[in-house]
Structure 1
Amino acid sequence: MLTAIAVLMALSIILSAPLSPATRLQELLRPRPHDDEPRRGGRRIREDSEQEKLWAISAVENCAHLLRVGMTPQAVMSTLSSQNALLIPISRAISLGEEPGRAIATRGVGLPSAAAEVFAGMSAVWTVSERSGAPAADMILRYARAQRSAVDADRERQIAMAGPRATVRVLSWLPLIGVGLGLLIGVHPVELLSGLPGRSSIGAGLGLYLVGRWWMRRMMVRAQL
């Protein structure tokens, strides 16, 4: 009976082991699935947020290029709104005479949060360029490049953290692996609870395990900042 339990524990550990680095990298770089596919918690939310931000950055880059070739702000936003209906309120406000920076800041409430953040920065850059007399196209393009660099840096950070996360998962399974190995060699862990030394060692082990988990999680969170 104990041997069967040990075998089942070993199989569960093997099946739940973290993916290889190559497979993990492919998962991180996998393109966004269709909307009808199931979502997977925080990681899927992060990927959706990244895709929204990348779309907004592309729109900002297109805006800068269109301004550079001589198109008016009204024509630029009309062109962008024809590609995405979420920008129609901004285009309409500019066509009614509102300043581009103000229109983007006040009429972009229907945008997704990640995209709205990018457009909010764009509105500030556009307003500053108009008031200072600097070329709006150049400043907006520099802002878009800075945003894209930030997204790339965040993606590289997530890829770099894949290895430590896998290591933490492996270390989390080590206590169960030790119990399984003990059962395989004929040790009965239940007998450890009959004496004070056994209970003390198990209590200390659980305490150190929880402290180690907290410490590792704290280090990973600080590494992502």
Structure 2
Amino acid sequence: MSTPAGWVALAAALAVAALVGVPPGRAAGRLAGQPVAEAAPAIHRAAGGRRRAVLVLLGALLAVLVVGVASGPQGAAYAAIGLVPALTAASLLKGRARELARARSEAEVARACSLVAAEVRAGRAPEGAVDLVAEDCPVLAPAAAALLVGDDVVRTWRHQAGRPGCGGLADLARAWEVSRACGAPMGPSLDQVAGALEREAEVSRLVRGELASAQATGRLMAVLPAVGIGLGYSIGGRPLDFLLHTAVGLACTVVAVALASLGTLWTTALARTPGREP
């Protein structure tokens, strides 16, 4: 494995082995003002993400060092050139999957609360409304099961609220708890919660739409160097011979790959900042 392609393949394989540790996009938000029981899952998830980030960085450095010891600085450079983009792509893919799952959960929570509010408004008992809506909205299935055995549905919702995209269940739990404690009708409280969650979901969709172009631009900037290399070949040059087979070229390539990956991750992180979490 003395060729550049061989070292890049090895680095890519090491990157695949590290995918399980790619950290979440951002730490739990909106923790201030939450009860400890609601905030704890998000805090644990954020701490786990930091630990995984450290492990992945250490693993990547170790992989580069091992390759460097085995083949010298040139092999370490090839390993870095393969490892950094692979980990960056994995992080972007996992982050995208998390964002889609969170958006689906937010929409389902908002819809479930609206349906429960509608059923209560139509005269159905709140417990019966939750049980009925749970058949169509799986996010309420744990609450329906808790009501069936006489467990505390408020505690169930607060536990679920720690999951990504399910933060609206904390509002539902507070409305349920206050109405039960005060003996007040639950219909108006549920209507307010449902309306607030629908507005938040609409704002989230609007923000994601507005940020989509910025995210696409950041990713486009990351692939422009490859376009430049192609243009170099189109005019008769051989840029890869310089970039991969000379000391100066390898140094430039490593720095360029690192900066392009860092810029892509930074742009994606900035675009993910707005929104409700969990």
* Structure 1 length-normalised TM: 0.59
Which residue identity is paired with 1:76?
A
Structure 1 or 2, whichever has the larger Rg, is: 1
Give the Cα separation in 2 of the matches to 1:66 and 1:181: 63
Which of 126, 137, 141 aligns to 1:73? It is 126
Give the Cα separation in 1 of the matches to 2:190 and 2:167: 14
Alignment of 1:150-189 (within 5 A): 150-189=200-239
Percent identical among aligned pairs is 19
Residue 83 of structure 1 deviates from its aligned partner by 4.5
Q: Deviations over 1:13-69 (max 9, x none)?
A: xxxxxxxxxxxxxxxxxxxxxxxxxxx865455434433432332222222233334
Alignment of 1:26-175 (within 5 A): 43-44=96-97, 46-81=99-134, 83=136, 86=141, 87-93=143-149, 102-106=152-156, 113=163, 117-132=167-182, 135-175=185-225
Give the Cα separation in 1 of the matches to 2:159 and 2:240: 60
Give the Cα separation in 2 of the matches to 1:121 and 1:127: 10
Residue 189 of structure 1 deviates from its aligned partner by 3.0
> Which structure ranks higher in relative contact order (CA pairs < 8 Å, sequence separation ≥ 6)?
1
Residue 221 of structure 1 deviates from its aligned partner by 0.9
Residue 191 of structure 1 deviates from its aligned partner by 6.1
Distance 1:167 1:76, change over 3 A: closer
Distance 1:202 1:178, change over 3 A: farther
Partner of 1:34: none
Partner of 1:223: 271
Residue 205 of structure 1 deviates from its aligned partner by 5.6
Residue 122 of structure 1 deviates from its aligned partner by 1.0
Give the Cα separation in 1 of the matches to 2:110 and 2:226: 47
Q: Deviations over 1:96-131 (max 9, x none)?
A: 5x6xxx324338979994576443431222112333
Q: Deviations over 1:112-154 (max 9, x none)?
A: 9457644343122211233345542222222222222222222
Which of 254, 259, 264 aligns to 1:211? It is 259
Which residue identity is paired with 1:221?
A
Q: What secondary structure, in the 3-state scheme, does the structure 2 residue paired with 1:71 have?
A: coil
Distance 1:190 1:122, change over 3 A: closer
Distance 1:143 1:189, change over 3 A: same
Aligned residue pairs, count: 178
Q: Which runs of 5+ in 1 are unaligned?
A: 1-39
Give the Cα separation in 2 of the matches to 1:150 and 1:136: 21
Q: Is the 8 A contact 2:218 2:267 kept in 1?
A: no
Give the Cα separation in 1 of the matches to 2:268 and 2:157: 38
Give the Cα separation in 1 of the matches to 2:98 and 2:145: 26
Distance 1:115 1:75, change over 3 A: farther
Residue 194 of structure 1 deviates from its aligned partner by 11
Give the Cα separation in 2 of the matches to 1:186 and 1:208: 22
Distance 1:204 1:190, change over 3 A: closer
Give the Cα separation in 1 of the matches to 2:127 and 2:134: 10
Distance 1:166 1:77, change over 3 A: closer
* Structure 2 length-normalised TM: 0.49
Which residue identity is paired with 1:224?
R
Q: Is the 8 A contact 2:172 2:193 kept in 1?
A: yes
Distance 1:52 1:150, change over 3 A: same
Give the Cα separation in 1 of the matches to 2:107 and 2:178: 23
